[in-house]
Amino acid sequence: MPNPIQTEVSPHDAAEELLPWYATGQLEPDERALVEQHLSSCAHCRRQLAFERRMVDEFADLTPEIDTAWARLRQRIEPPRRTVARPSLWDRVAREAADFWQNLSRPAVAVLATLQLAIIGGAGAFVTLSQESYQALSSAPLPASANVIVMFGGDTTESEIRGLLQANNATLVGGPTPADAYLLEVPSQSRTAVLSHLRADDHVTLAQPIDGPQP
């Protein structure tokens, strides 16, 4: 198969395209040789290489003050915007970790009876969900078949949720709760894989087992 660089792009264009990565030392030896051979005979590319090197240096120097610079720029290009409080990453991670170890350390039956999932509400307050809480927060008692709890991002549409459930062979058996959590039933033999798929999806903000570790 012919190399398009050799057949469709002139040596000058090929070398000029590679100059940024020549300046950062990120070319393979054959590419570097091609660039160096061209540089020896092209004043334009030598000037361009000087530009590339200066850009690399300027970008490195830009870092320490970038926050200040952006704050300045933001004041000029947009009015201050009210920000919505979000739960911090560490709140979310710490809670997940606690749940994970709790699930591991308790028998499945006990987990279902005593599971405590603290889910952060929209205003940042904690809403504690236990089996009783699920019943209180859901429109119906916790279905016996529910084995996964899931939360979706605020911009997720109903059709995206439906597609996600169908793709994972999951059945909606409860929710939304006031904390916007949904209770799902997924085939027990594929629960681990389904959880993994759900967590990898950009629309899913939380996916947890609620019937203990995989049998």
Partner 1 sequence: MNSTGTAVRPRNENAPSGAPNERALLERVKMHDVDAFERLYRIYQPRLARFLINLLMRPQLVEEVLDDTMMVVWQTAESFRGTSKLSTWVFAIAYRKALKARARWPDPVEDEDRDMRVSNDPGPDSELERSRIHDALISAMAKLSAEQRAVVDLTYFHGLNYREIADIVSCPVDTVKTRMFHARRRLKQTLSGTFTDWL
Contact call for residue 29 and partner 1 (CB under 8 A): yes
Q: Which is nearer to partner 1, 94 or 136 (CB)?
A: 94
Q: Count CB atoms within 10 A of the CB of residue 64.
A: 9
Binding residues among 8-27 for partner 1 as defined by CB under 8 A: 16-18, 20-22, 24-27
Q: Count CB atoms within 10 A of the CB of residue 84.
A: 9
Contact call for residue 92 and partner 1 (CB under 8 A): yes
Contact call for residue 56 and partner 1 (CB under 8 A): yes
Q: Which is nearer to partner 1, 17 or 132 (CB)?
A: 17
Site size with partner 1, rule: CB under 8 A: 58
Binding residues among 145-204 for partner 1 as defined by CB under 8 A: 155, 196, 199-200, 202
The binder of partner 1 chosen from 12, 66, 110, 167 (CB under 8 A)? 66
Contact call for residue 77 and partner 1 (CB under 8 A): yes
Which residue in this structure is represented by tokens 């904690």?
A: 126
CA distances from 140 to 28, 51, 82, 175 (A): 63, 66, 37, 8
Gyration radius of the chain's alpha carbons: 27
Q: Which is nearer to partner 1, 60 or 125 (CB)?
A: 60
Cis bond before residue 176 (omega within 30° of 0): yes
Which region, judged by CB under 8 A, interacts with partner 1, from 43-51, 110-118, 130-138, 160-168? 43-51
Q: Which is nearer to partner 1, 1 or 60 (CB)?
A: 60
